[in-house]
């Protein structure tokens, strides 16, 4: 038998229907409703309505009523989610950064060399244009050095076989909310 999204809450409601729910219980049900919304089972309006019902629920029976009609889905069919420590920044991938920096620098080159800019009496381009050209090239060089440094650090980490420590997200132990971390 496959556990459905609301089965954990329904089982809790069967034994404790009149007992008051805690904030943690409400958060678990909100996670279940969010998962149904992400799967496309609920529309935006219905999602908002159900979240409002969760916050208005005072007992386990009221809380279970929010998820009883959600279809059961196997836990293995849910996509794995990587858990990050609270406040941890996502890993910056150097490829897109290098592409964006190169495109921006090429745009500055095109902007400075292609149009015929008015020259002063000696035939020199405006000073602001020269400053833009050199500062863009300097910034491009800095970004490229940093991106290559991140690439090398990533290669070293892969080659050494070192993996980041496994972390689980809050609520990972709850039977109705299954999360995997890599």
Per-state percent for the chain, helix, strand, coil, to nearest 5: 60, 0, 40
Share of residues in the chain with pLDDT > 90 (%): 21
Residue 15 and residue 42 in one domain: yes
Average pLDDT estimate for 173-179: 49
pLDDT digits (tens, 9 = 90+) for 91-107: 567 888 889 999 999 99
Does 83 fall in a domain? no
Domain boundary among 51, 77, 103: 77
pLDDT at 136: 92
Domain boundary among 46, 77, 108: 77
CB 144 within 8 A of CB 136: no
pLDDT band at 74 (very low <50, low <70, confident <90, very high): very low
Q: State the residue range of the domain holding 23.
A: 7-77
pLDDT digits (tens, 9 = 90+) for 105-124: 999 888 888 877 777 777 77
Residue 107 and residue 152 in one domain: yes
């Amino acid at each position: 038998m496959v556990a459905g999204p609301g089965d954990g809450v329904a089982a809790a409601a069967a034994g404790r229907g009149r007992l008051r729910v805690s904030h943690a219980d409400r958060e678990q049900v909100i996670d279940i409703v969010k998962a149904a919304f992400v799967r496309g089972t609920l529309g935006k309006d219905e999602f908002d309505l159900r979240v409002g019902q969760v916050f208005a629920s005072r007992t386990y029976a009221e809380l279970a009523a929010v998820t009883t009609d959600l279809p059961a889905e196997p836990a293995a069919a849910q996509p794995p989610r990587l858990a990050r420590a609270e406040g941890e920044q996502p890993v910056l991938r150097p490829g897109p950064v290098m592409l964006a920096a190169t495109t921006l620098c090429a745009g500055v080159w095109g902007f400075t060399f292609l149009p015929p800019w008015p020259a002063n009496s000696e035939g020199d381009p405006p000073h602001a244009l020269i400053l833009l050209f050199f500062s863009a090239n300097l910034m491009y060089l800095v970004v490229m050095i940093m991106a290559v440094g991140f690439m090398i650090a990533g290669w070293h980490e892969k080659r050494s076989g070192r993996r980041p420590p496994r972390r689980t997200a809050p609520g990972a132990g709850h039977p109705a909310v299954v999360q995997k971390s890599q």
